[in-house]
Amino acid sequence: MRLQQIGLLAALGAMGALVLGPVRAVAAETTNVDLPRSIGEVMKMKPMQVMHMIDTDKKGVVTKEQYMKFFEAIWDKMDPDHTGTVAKEAWMHGWAKRNQ
């Protein structure tokens, strides 16, 4: 239960970061691993798994720059046409399958 709450809080924080505005970062610089394709997929992950993906220099801490680059890259995956908007289906991709 506690891990689910932490995961939910991490996902909510991520959503807040997406709403705060664009970040001047190149998505390709974010990580060298496969990124989740949506917030729905991030919500399925364990909090430490997300942290390790964001911590690209493997120092055991996440900087604001790393955090913002990570979620900017996910936004770019959800909005491949760069319209500046994301539909519900793209936002929750992968989440519905988990809850079926």
Q: How many Å is the Cα radius of gyration of the chain?
A: 13
How many CA atoms lie within 13 Å of 19's alpha carbon, on the beta-carbon side? 7
The least confident of 13-17, 48-52, 82-86 is 13-17
List pLDDT tens digits, range 9-44.
566 565 555 544 443 343 444 444 588 888 888 989
Name residue, tokens 């289906």.
89
